Structure 1
């Protein structure tokens, strides 16, 4: 008979990061998994979904006060807002409400994992020191990742549980309905370009085409997140998690075009959020023709594309700390993109 040793509470369960973490924990066979999100989900195996409004403390307490067996919290929830300053209050409040609801009832709580990103280094506001290191100095607030970690550090003082802060680059995965899915937006952009019989042009700033970047495979991220949550030496520390290699769009973009059997032409800066806003009918034609499973809204992430493709500065961090301490996974980024495109085809997300 299969036994479970730990109970994971996955917060923000329907995102590209959490869906891969749920799959990974499920594959190990020794985890019960409770998945929280606004819209819930369908229970399967050792995974139980709860629909909850984490901005509402009363709702959080009512829905979560029976979760006495939770041993690990994996926090990856996110609420988008119109400005960097406006992001702080709701995203901090959700984390606070989770801790307020779970800490008093989960007497065996061992660890809280906080998903962050390179915003802690100022990567979202302009050129930042590269490679960024976990020990780098902070920057002028507001920045919700920093506010969340400061809260967690203060809350943990004198407690038996520990924390970790996981800092991936842009995450590569296949989950639709996610506002920050780079591989999916490239695949959809390529699919629509091909339908219109135009070459695959890089749509970002001219200076972004030749800069050094890195990404983080969602499967690698899941493994690293669990490693940091269960490795005693990693307690109460932050870790940059990346694939371990670097790339430039000017080298990778033609290879992506070749994957989709397309011509590539000179980059042409276009605002994706504006230029792709009228392409729903085209996508619906593609969807009908190929029997695809997802609507245009579910596969669109154009604002994120405008953001990522605007980085006309190097964008990478030093991922050696985790690897020095025992996490030794690497992923080839080119092969990651091709594998993700293959998975999207298998899931009938793209033709």
Structure 2
């Protein structure tokens, strides 16, 4: 039986990585997103706005041979962080999944697995210190409104009595390849670094107090998604996932600087979300100088400068508690892949340089 993998959110970090994983391994892949991905790796791309219920019904009701679904679509509001607490952000994300899955599940008798994405906001990481380590089915903050709970309830209800199963993954900070994503720190740091480098300055750390965090390589997450779809034990499951180590921004900063051909500089607190958009013309000048194919700053970085401020604790008045999740459930289930986080940073900056999206070292 030929597998047909349908991926929602193909221009995002996770969707792009999943599309690359399956398409480069010979699967039939259909990738849906409003914008066309930077590359498709042989996947078929279908332009689709998941907020348009009629368009979703028309497009998805024809995909009768789908066997796996990777739902990685996400709606975020301008400014990013404030929207995490707002009702319309929750409602839009709930409605997008319903618009996508309602017509699809009616016509896919061969469907056998659905992957859904959450994150550490399931544990209240955006509103409180995490109980370290945060564990699945124990540490959730379900009293805090969050589209995760609406989507999870919806997929649980849809699955009852059906032959397919679902897996929910909860990564912490995902790093990978995407353009214009809401939460991809590689282009955000890359643009910030390029502007400093043009001024002959070192790479200064712009955040506040560093806490202990965990990263997730997007390719590693795609490997886990693929594993979940064929794991021997067919059950509905929720898994935290990380690279397997921890990191502190200030401790990895020298490796990031080296990957970008720079020296680390002294700490220099700065709100990237506030300051970088003012330098859009400077980024355009860098693009021209190095003949880059990257788009303008907004289209390249999206809301990720705001995400950098959040993850780097810009403006924090005191030390930020560690944010650590347990990945024991995933290891016990059989997924053991890891990647060193410093190597991950080097990998992604090197790829952006090779693709002429960031200046060479």
Q: Same fold (TM over 0.5)?
A: yes
Shorter-chain TM band = over 0.9
Judge conservation of contact 1:130–1:316 (CA < 8 Å) in 2. Answer: yes
Judge conservation of contact 1:187–1:341 (CA < 8 Å) in 2. Answer: yes
Mapped to 1, the partners of 2:39 and 2:345 lie a distance apart of 29
Q: CA RMSD in A?
A: 1.8
Q: 1:37 aligns with which of 33, 38, 42?
A: 33
Q: Which residue of 2 aligns with 1:247?
A: 247
Q: Which residue of 2 aligns with 1:27?
A: 24
Judge conservation of contact 1:13–1:37 (CA < 8 Å) in 2. Answer: yes
Q: Which residue of 1 aligns with 2:98?
A: 96
Task: Provide closer, same or farther for how the CA distance between residues 272 and 76 of structure 1 changes in structure 2, counting only shifts above 3 A.
Answer: same
Residue 250 (structure 1) shift: 2.1
Are residue 50 (structure 1) and residue 51 (structure 2) matched? Answer: no
SS of residue matched to 2:180: coil
Q: 1:136 aligns with which of 108, 116, 138?
A: 138
Structure 1 residues 284-323: aligned runs within 5 Å: 284-294=284-294, 295-300=296-301, 301-310=304-313, 312-323=320-331
Mapped to 1, the partners of 2:268 and 2:260 lie a distance apart of 19
Structure 1 residues 1-351: aligned runs within 5 Å: 5-29=2-26, 31-40=27-36, 46-81=42-77, 83=83, 84-85=85-86, 86-139=88-141, 140-205=143-208, 207=209, 209=210, 211-233=211-233, 235-294=235-294, 295-300=296-301, 301-310=304-313, 312-351=320-359
Mapped to 2, the partners of 1:157 and 1:89 lie a distance apart of 23
Residue 42 (structure 1) shift: 8.8
Per-residue deviation, residues 78-110 of structure 1 (Å, max 9, x unmatched): 011352233210101111111111011111111
Mapped to 2, the partners of 1:105 and 1:341 lie a distance apart of 41
Q: Structure 2 length as normaliser, TM-score?
A: 0.90
4+ long deviations beyond 4 Å: 40-46
Moved more, 191-200 or 116-125: 191-200
Per-residue deviation, residues 256-309 of structure 1 (Å, max 9, x unmatched): 223334333332322111111211111111111111011222322211111211
Mapped to 2, the partners of 1:153 and 1:283 lie a distance apart of 45
Mapped to 2, the partners of 1:320 and 1:333 lie a distance apart of 19
Residue 46 (structure 1) shift: 5.0
SS of residue matched to 1:276: helix
Mapped to 2, the partners of 1:33 and 1:255 lie a distance apart of 36
Judge conservation of contact 1:215–1:333 (CA < 8 Å) in 2. Answer: yes
Residue 319 (structure 1) shift: 1.4
Residue 123 (structure 1) shift: 0.9
Judge conservation of contact 1:228–1:235 (CA < 8 Å) in 2. Answer: no
Task: Provide closer, same or farther for how the CA distance between residues 43 and 183 of structure 1 changes in structure 2, counting only shifts above 3 A.
Answer: closer
SS of residue matched to 1:164: strand
Residue 44 (structure 1) shift: 6.0
Per-residue deviation, residues 293-348 of structure 1 (Å, max 9, x unmatched): 11222322211111211282212211122122111101010011011111111000
